[in-house]
Structure 1
Amino acid sequence: MLLYNVTLILDDAAAEEWLQWAQDIHIPVVMATGLFVSHRLLKVLDSPNEGITYCVQYVAESQEQYNQYLNIHAPALQEDLNTKFKNRFVAYRTLMEFVG
């Protein structure tokens, strides 16, 4: 099992709009791909960064499913994010494997 973590640091003024968009539109679209079995949305409380930090975590059952998401769906979804919130966030992504 793999955990795909997307961390976003948002300008204060964009955070509420992003949160609503993520919950209502983005996360449902990602989950509708059928490539992830679950997700979580978290707010980082002790971030050293300016702005508001959120993490969206998606669980994939295999590397193949993650790669399929990355190659087929991620480019358009990331472009949508970049267009809607241009210059109002920084994002980084990590892939982790469950070990215990």
Structure 2
Amino acid sequence: MQYNQQAQRQAWIDGLAQLREQGAISADDETVLIRHMDERLDVVQQELKALVPEYERRAASDGREAADAWLGAQAREMGEREGADARRMVNSLSTIEVGP
């Protein structure tokens, strides 16, 4: 799993380097994007680990189906939060022009 994460991170960095070389983003934006991704990955991993005890408690007391539904709702909330955070960060980049 760790290797897969490292490979994905490197692919992300390589993609950003290509965007910078094409002039789509600046070097500063590239640095901001890499830092943002690293920070968000750490936060998401911590949040996911924190969900495990509650999921197990719910599975034991309410059943796996109810626990899975709760976990799905938590995942949706996390995804929406991360998406909003990513939009704010991308909109703050120097080379991004926000439409009307």
Structure exhibiting the larger radius of gyration computed from Cα positions: 2
Normalized per residue, the structure richer in helix is 2
Higher relative contact order (CA 8 A, sep 6+): 1
Same fold (TM over 0.5): no
Normalized per residue, the structure richer in strand is 1
State the TM-score, normalized to the length of structure 1. Answer: 0.36
